[in-house]
Structure 1
Amino acid sequence: MGIKMWIVQLSLNTHIELKDKSNARCYIEGLSLTLSNPKPILFFMSLFPQFIDSQGSYISQFITLSLTFCCLVMTIE
């Protein structure tokens, strides 16, 4: 793809037509893309069980880990 981009000559007058999408539509598309991506699903399935105590409440531990991860991601980005 990179070599093809170098070979193809684009004129400066090329117009790119953008489609107007609502915020809700963009959110739904992003959410469906994220939920259907197998890499993060496999990552969390392999990471979270290492930090969950089998003697404790699974749901509360999972929610705590998920919220901690979300907070870290929002802080980093």
Structure 2
Amino acid sequence: MFAIRSLLRTNPQVFKNVAQARNMSAIATPARNKVTTGEMVVLSAVMVIGWSAIPAWVLVNIKNYRVKE
């Protein structure tokens, strides 16, 4: 990987066309549109259900996991 990078850097035309430089910046500003309370409740509920779905599945099926064959 480093050899490819050094090869691209030595050839300016290839570097210009193939390996483009990335200039990124982020500006932190307040939100333009406030999220409503209803949306916040629904999104929070979806997150809590998503986070607890697998642990709940494991707890419901714990007897099946403990069965020795």
TM-score category by the smaller chain?
Answer: 0.3 to 0.5
Larger gyration radius, structure 1 or structure 2: 2
TM-score (normalised: structure 2): 0.35
TM-score (normalised: structure 1): 0.33
